[in-house]
Each structure stands twice: as structure tokens, then as C-alpha cells.
Structure 1
Amino acid sequence: MADTISVPVETPSGVRSVDVVHERLGSGEPLVLLHGIGHHLQAWDPVVGILAAERDVITVDLPGFGLSPALPDGISYDLRGVIPVLRALFEALGLDRPHVVGNSLGGLLALQLGHEKLVRSVTALSPGGFWTEAERRYAFAMLQGMRLGALSLSPRTVTRLARTAPGRAVLGGTIYARPGRRSPDAIAAETRALREATGFEATLAAGQRGVLFTHDITNIPVTIAWGTRDRILLRRQGVRAKKVIPAARLVRLPGCGHVPMNDDPALVARVILDTSR
């Protein structure tokens, strides 16, 4: 069941309170899961049960996405703004350097948390920050197109599309290699989450300022995994990531799209657990 926690974050104008929605399941070492732009914590539903058998799993709605409200004035949606929120969240939940997993935007955040030594391992699934400028523009155009599509479709139309496999391909084919595997309720809910994401434009604008991840990460395990059918962040970016973080394990996810948890839950869960061991 989702819970909301308010965390204090220092800003130049004083301490601000940020509300973060999260769910927690299982027992063992803590494992935090961070979704991508426009998504919500339910993106991890296909793998949560597998992971919770061995880990204390915390799924998070990032600020401005899912049920988490927008960031207050004075806190930006770039790494400098969001990382302190996550650090405060870890402290409020009593998490001492958890393992962290992120997809897309969440993968970039996970890598930054690793760079700042706030976590004990990092698994990044198709993380942002390893693109050329042309690849970034292409990816952002795809994301903006998805957002405009979600805004233009009525809830009734989304529900009707989600009931059929071709309709789910229309709604989720950009991020999933196998959108037909997503349940009608799940695909409708994530389309709604994309439509209602108050942090979408600000997050995209922050990324348009040329965000690149250029830091090596040492002394903690790092896995970077990429779906072979990722249509948003092309898999050659994984090779660049390996050059930036030479000790990282680079894993190929055959037949998976940009959000691989739904395409092959067993494989993705195994990659995550192998890293966190």
C-alpha cells in the first residue's frame, strides 16, 4: 500500500518540505527502485514480488510523477535538486546506503547516487546521460510525442484501447518491446500517469541543458543493462557508459525495450539481485 512521507530539503531560501509517495514490501537488505520520466512506481510491479523474496523493496514515485506532488519552489528537477530529496528520503526511511535500481531518468539518478557514495550498489536500466546531442533530441522528441498523445486521448478512449493487444501497442509500444503483456489496467494507469505528471516539462527542460554523466564510480558494484529493442535510448549508449565507468558490468537484455521490467521480469530481477549480492 502506498504511503506518503514528508522529507526536509535544504534550499538557498531555507528548508522546504517535499512529499514523496512510496511503497515497501519484503525483507532483507534495502533496495530502492526509481522509475523513468512520465512513469510511476507501478512500472516495477512485474519484478517487485521476485525481488521482495530477498530484499526490503522500496518503490518510489519521483517528485512530480505518479502520486508524488510537484517539487516546491526553490527545488529544481535536475540532479542538484532531486538527489538531495532522495538523500533525505533515505534518511527518513532509515535506509543506510541502500542498493538502488533505476530505469531511464531513474537510472541516471541511481548512477549519481552511486557517484556520491549514497548507495551500496547501482543497477541502471537504459540510463539517461550517455547520449550524443542528436540522440538526446531524438529521445526527447519521442518522450514529448508520448506526452502529447496521453494529453490528447480521453480517458474513455484510453480504456477502450487498453482492452486490446493492438491498442496496448499504440499506448505502450514506444517503451515496451512486448506491450501486449502489459495488463489493460496497468497500461491505462500509466497513460494516465503520463498525462498527469506535473514534473514532466520541468524534468525534460532540465535534460535539455545538456545533461551528461561523466563520472567514474568506484568501490561499489555497478551494472548497466540495456534492452536490445530499446527505441528511445539506443543500446549503443551502453558502450559509452562502459567507457565512462570501466568497472561496470554491461549486460544485454535480449528482446527488451526501454522499460524492460515488463518485457522479461525474470531476467531483469536476476540482473538486479546479482548486482545487489
Structure 2
Amino acid sequence: MLAYERHGSGEPLVLLHGVTHRRQAWYPVLDELAAHREVILVDLPGHGQSPAFELDGLSVKDALRRDFEGFLDVLGLDRPHVGGNSLGGLIALHAAANGRARSVTALSPAGFWRDEAEFAYTRKFFLGLLALADHLGPGAERVARSRVVRQVVYTSLMAHPSHVPTDHVIGDVRAFMYARPTLRTMLAAAEPFTEQVPRDVPVTVAWAGRDLVLPRWQAETARKRLPHAEHIMLRGMGHVPMFDNPHHVAKVLLRGSAPAATVAPIAAANRPVSSRRRAAATATA
């Protein structure tokens, strides 16, 4: 059983973190979301406090589907709203393609490189982190307490690393050390997202404008593969945007998990209006 926690009330919104991260990544936006949704934070398999990730002869994609859909079944969640960051965004999109998500909000989702050459940059980034973690071993937590080291490492993940408290950083380091085997498995089997999401499932793809892990040009690939989705640029935010601008990220998640007419539109400067949203606005005018 995957580790999780539930907060708030309303329509369920399941939130999935990125590779090597943990459910606490969503804490900066939790209070604002829980005022409007029942928020379920999940540790992915092989991450946080969840059991190790086991393939059992399945592909990585199928094993993730088994574990996530099994989790939804245990909690009795029938097509909840699903939001995800990075790997979590990819899993959310797969859930939508498989008919298990009512809506999807994906923040810089994985899976939108076009070929192995384009993925090489991201693979090299994570291999570098793995090499550093392997070298430091048990000393990783001590090194992470250094403000300079935190600044250097977290600058690759977010635009404002100073927003992350020291105790949260230590928790992230422990999560990374635990997730190393899962990361290696996923890097070896990474594949692009090419599935079709039903047109009646609302999808929002919000890409971080300062993403140094999954570069922002991948947002253009996402536009082409998901032409009916709403596409937003999170300006001034990094790959893990929840600490950079919690209020704005919460607003994106609330809008993505509700009918367009019930949530105030996001400032036009931050995103173009998709044809789906434009048609909805016209129909209700």
C-alpha cells in the first residue's frame, strides 16, 4: 500500500510528486487547496514512505499503472482529479488515458522529449545527482545542511531555493537516498508520452518558465501531442514550482480540477486561452 495522507473536503484531488521526491513537496499549496478539495498526497512506489518499486515482470509504465490504480481502488476513488509534477504529471496523464482521472493538471510533466538525444540532457542531470549521492553516502545529510550546497543543488530545481526550510531539505535528501534504485530503474526505461487522452477529460499542462530539468522547449512538444489541453507557462518558476509561488500554483491546480466557469481565469499574460476553454466561455456567455 502506498503511503498517503488526506486533507480538506470536496471533490477529491490526488497529487503526485516527481521522481526522487516525496508527498511533502505539495505542502506549500496544501492549505489553499484543502479549503476547496479533498486533497490526497501520495508517495509514489519506491519513494518517501512507500514500499520499494517492484516490476514483477512488468514494464515500468505498467507497474506504475498497477500500483497507482490499485491505490485508487483501495481508497474507493472513482476517477478523481489528478495533479502531478514531473514524473507525477506523466502518471496523471497515463491515468487520464486509461480512463481513471476526471481531470489532469500536469506541472512540467515528464515524457515530452522527442527522441533519446533530447532526453540525454535530463538523463545526465539525474546521473550526476546519483553520482554525488553515492559519493557522499551517509554524509549527504550533513552536507545538505550547508546553505551554499543547498543553494547550488536547489537552484536546478526551483527559482527561489531560499524559500525551502532546512528541515524540509533534510527530508528531501533522505527521500532522494531511498529513491535511488527506483530512479535508476526509471532512467533505464524512460519513454515519451504518446497516448491519447479522451477529449472529454480536461487537461492543463503548466510548464515552468525556468525549468532546468525538463527544459521549457518541451512545452511545445506537449502542445503538439495534447492539442486539446490548456497550456500555461509558469513564469519565473523552476521545475518544482510549489515553493516558488504557492498561491499561483494552487490557483492553477484549482482551475484545472474544476469547470472553467467556476474558477476565475488565470491572468492572460501567463497563458494563451485554449480552444477548449474559449469554446466553453462562448457557450456560457
TM-score range, shorter chain: 0.7 to 0.9
Give the CA deviation at 1:161.
Answer: 3.9
Give the CA deviation at 1:219.
Answer: 0.3
Cα distance 1:163–1:183, how it changes in 2: closer, same or farther (>3 A)?
Answer: farther
The two structures have a TM-score, normalised by structure 2, of 0.85
Q: Does 1:220 align with 2:196?
A: no
Q: Does the Cα contact within 8 Å between 1:30 and 1:58 map onto a contact in 2?
A: yes
Q: Does the Cα contact within 8 Å between 1:150 and 1:192 map onto a contact in 2?
A: no
Give the CA deviation at 1:101.
Answer: 0.5
1:73-102 Cα shifts (integer Å, max 9, x gaps): 515462111112111111111112100001
Q: Distance in 2 between matches of 1:252 and 1:73?
A: 35
Q: Does the Cα contact within 8 Å between 2:96 and 2:197 map onto a contact in 1?
A: no
Name the structure 2 match of 1:31: 13
Q: Does 1:44 align with 2:49?
A: no
**Aligned residue among 136, 151, 162 for 2:119:** 136
Name the structure 1 match of 2:90: 108
Cα distance 1:157–1:73, how it changes in 2: closer, same or farther (>3 A)?
Answer: closer
Name the structure 1 match of 2:235: 254
Name the structure 1 match of 2:78: 96
Q: Does 1:205 align with 2:199?
A: no
Residue aligned with 1:255, SS = coil
Give the CA deviation at 1:173.
Answer: 1.8
1:32-61 Cα shifts (integer Å, max 9, x gaps): 011111111111111111111111111111
Q: Distance in 2 between matches of 1:200 and 1:185?
A: 23
Amino acid at match of 1:252: M
Amino acid at match of 2:215: L
Q: Within 5 A, what are the aligned runs for 1:168-187?
A: 168-187=150-169
Cα distance 1:75–1:32, how it changes in 2: closer, same or farther (>3 A)?
Answer: farther
**Aligned residue among 247, 255, 263 for 2:244:** 263
Q: Distance in 2 between matches of 1:157 and 1:145?
A: 14
- Unmatched tracts of structure 1, length 5 or more: 1-18
Residue aligned with 1:252, SS = strand
Name the structure 1 match of 2:129: 146
Q: Distance in 2 between matches of 1:71 and 1:224?
A: 27
Q: Which structure has greater helix proportion?
A: 2
Count of residues in correspondence between the two structures? 256
How big is the alpha-carbon RMSD for the aligned residues of Structure 1 and Structure 2?
Answer: 1.7
Q: Distance in 2 between matches of 1:264 and 1:218?
A: 30
Q: Distance in 2 between matches of 1:72 and 1:230?
A: 30
Amino acid at match of 2:256: T
Q: Which structure has greater strand proportion?
A: 1
Give the CA deviation at 1:156.
Answer: 5.1
Q: Does the Cα contact within 8 Å between 2:105 and 2:205 map onto a contact in 1?
A: yes
Q: Does the Cα contact within 8 Å between 1:222 and 1:249 map onto a contact in 2?
A: yes
Name the structure 2 match of 1:15: none
The two structures have a TM-score, normalised by structure 1, of 0.87
Q: Distance in 2 between matches of 1:76 and 1:199?
A: 14
Q: Distance in 2 between matches of 1:269 and 1:47?
A: 5
Give the CA deviation at 1:167.
Answer: 2.8
How many percent identity over aligned positions? 43
**Aligned residue among 48, 71, 80 for 2:53:** 71
Q: Does the Cα contact within 8 Å between 1:168 and 1:182 map onto a contact in 2?
A: no
- Unmatched tracts of structure 2, length 5 or more: 259-285
1:110-166 Cα shifts (integer Å, max 9, x gaps): 1111111111000011111111322211101101212222333355553454352x3
Residue aligned with 1:64, SS = coil
